[in-house]
Amino acid sequence: MSFTLAIVGRPNVGKSTLFNRLVGKKLALVDDQPGVTRDLREGAARLADLRFTVIDTAGLEDATDDSLPGRMRRLTERAVEMADACLFMVDARAGILPDDEVFADILRKKSAHVILAANKAEGRAAEGGLLEAYSLGLGDPVRMSAEHGEGMTELLDFLRPIAEEGAKAEAAVEDAAPLTNIDVSEDDPDEVRMPTAARPLQVAVVGRPNSGKSTLINQLLGEDRLLTGPEAGITRDAISLPLDWDGMPTRIFDTAGMRKKARVQEKLEKLSVADGLRAVKYAEVVIVLLDAAIPFEQQDLRIADLAEREGRAVVVAVNKWDVEEHKQEKLRELREAFERLLPQLRGAPLVTVSAKTGRGMDRLREAVERAYVTWNARVTTSKLNRWLAGMVEAHPPPAPGGRRIKLRYMTQAKTRPPGFVVMASNPEKLSDSYKRYLVNGLRIDFDMPGTPIRLWFRSQADQNPYKDKKKSTPSRLRKHLGKPSLKE
């Protein structure tokens, strides 16, 4: 990326709409309600032949205290300092408000490159606001409509000189630093694909509101990158951030807190939860974060079960462990409740952490890597069939109607999560209890604790090409039945 562009402005001027248009995807939540965006969201933007990083920010508000708007403003000001250029958006239909003038003065001092954009400028109703924008002293405003894609060519003309300046700076750095430590080794197909910078490990942090998800990610990043506070439900977007986690390239997703479905009434919260569910589907490892004071609530169980049904590797982390007084007794209760309430994740890592103090982060990292390796586990066909023979001998399948179901052959069809196919006679008559017996045996004997295991049964009759064909009548019966033979 040649440069970084931060989109700033008052709430509800269309920053997230423009962000989505530049990245070509509906990544940021958009709603008519002001103040939807609260965290910084980065994306890879494309405008004609330009490639750059764009940052969507929270709406600037005239608050400097420790309130939620004040914390949002400080986070936006930090984005301005990080970016190479700022796109200051105003609402052409609403005109220039006093807050716009205050923020224009701030941007003039903090950023070397400030581009003024008058959004919602389609139609005659925006003419007055467009003329007022000149009074801000930031040069000619770009007349645009982020919703309809108008003004993108004019914006490109403003961005091109900034991109050229960034390209020259990058070229100077590349000339000064020779390429070293280039890995030219080929991947071994029999080995687990470990995360790389090109393909980092995808980790989603999920849980109920106010369980400490954003605080945990800030602790891992080593900076206050995400908005946090005592209020429940601060996070709305599913924000993804790159992280070098003790040498393991990772992309970690912060998600909105998920309440019970019956309590989710507002449209905005429904969008936030849907965004979090989408992050779970794209993740490889899901960290289910619990509150040590009230662990394994009904909603926690639903969230963990969702991750298992999606086939993701699961790590259960219990946060706020620093304020727990009776740690050993509490830990025994947690393990007992985990085994009893989440049998489908039996053996999954259970880690106690403190997002506030950083305690347990090393154990969490080890648990995530262990869960990922198990999720990618592969077992050879010869080992599987020897194991299947032993399981059948120890506990034969049921015999419905007096005919014993035969398990003939087994192979692994996939990984991520591990999936196995068993060839059997009459698989539709196999009981669920016997299937659980085989799944639990796979977990124990092949060291796959906690990871979702998929087991499919196929009938060998499905391989028979003559299965659905009618039997022909024997020639000796044709005369008896009065049917002519082929020779006749």
Torsion from C-alpha of 119, 8, 213, 71, nearest 10 degrees: -130
Q: Residue 376, annotated ligand binder? A: no
- Written as six digits, the tokens of 293 are 């004071």
Q: Residue 17, annotated ligand binder? A: no
Of 108, 70, 104, the closest CA to residue 90 belongs to 104
Q: How many CB atoms lie within 10 A of CB 396?
A: 13
Of 451, 466, 227, 217, the closest CA to residue 345 belongs to 451
- What gap in Å lies between CA 385 and CA 87, rounded to an integer? 63
Determine if the peptide bond prior to 417 is cis (ω within 30°): yes
Note whether 450 and 349 are within 8 A (CB). Answer: yes
Q: Residue 293, annotated ligand binder? A: no
Q: Residue 257, annotated ligand binder? A: yes
Q: Residue 100, annotated ligand binder? A: no
Q: Residue 181, annotated ligand binder? A: no
Spatial CB neighbours of 209, under 8 Å, sequence gap ≥ 6:
232, 233, 256, 257, 258, 259
Q: Residue 153, annotated ligand binder? A: no
DSSP string, 319-368: E-GGG-SSHHHHHHHHHHHHHHH-GGGTT--EEE-BTTTTBTHHHHHHHH
Q: Residue 166, annotated ligand binder? A: no
- Written as six digits, the tokens of 371 are 């869960």
Residue type, 403: R
CA atoms 37, 40, 42, 48: torsion sign: positive
Q: Residue 187, annotated ligand binder? A: no
Q: How many CB atoms lie within 10 A of CB 62?
A: 12
Q: Residue 270, annotated ligand binder? A: no
Task: For residue 241, give the H/E element and its range.
Answer: strand 239-245
Q: Residue 60, annotated ligand binder? A: yes
Q: Residue 122, annotated ligand binder? A: yes
Q: Residue 256, annotated ligand binder? A: yes
- What gap in Å lies between CA 90 and CA 119, rounded to an integer? 6
Q: Residue 13, annotated ligand binder? A: yes
Q: Residue 56, annotated ligand binder? A: yes
Q: Residue 382, annotated ligand binder? A: no
Q: Residue 121, annotated ligand binder? A: yes
DSSP letter at 131 equals H
Q: Residue 429, annotated ligand binder? A: no
Torsion from C-alpha of 127, 132, 134, 136, nearest 10 degrees: -150
The SS3 call for residue 53 is strand
Q: Residue 14, annotated ligand binder? A: yes
Q: Residue 322, annotated ligand binder? A: yes
Q: Residue 255, annotated ligand binder? A: yes
Q: Residue 95, annotated ligand binder? A: no
Q: Residue 12, annotated ligand binder? A: yes
Residue in this structure with the two tokens 């060519």, named with its chain if needed: 153
Note whether 429 and 400 are within 8 A (CB). Answer: yes
Q: Residue 485, annotated ligand binder? A: no
Q: Residue 258, annotated ligand binder? A: yes
Beta 407-414 vs 419-424: how paired, if at all? Answer: antiparallel
Q: Residue 2, annotated ligand binder? A: no
Residues in the chain, total:
488
Q: Residue 254, annotated ligand binder? A: yes
* Residue positions forming the annotated binding site for GTP: 9-16, 56-60, 119-122, 207-214, 254-258, 319-322
* Residue positions forming the annotated binding site: 9-16, 56-60, 119-122, 207-214, 254-258, 319-322
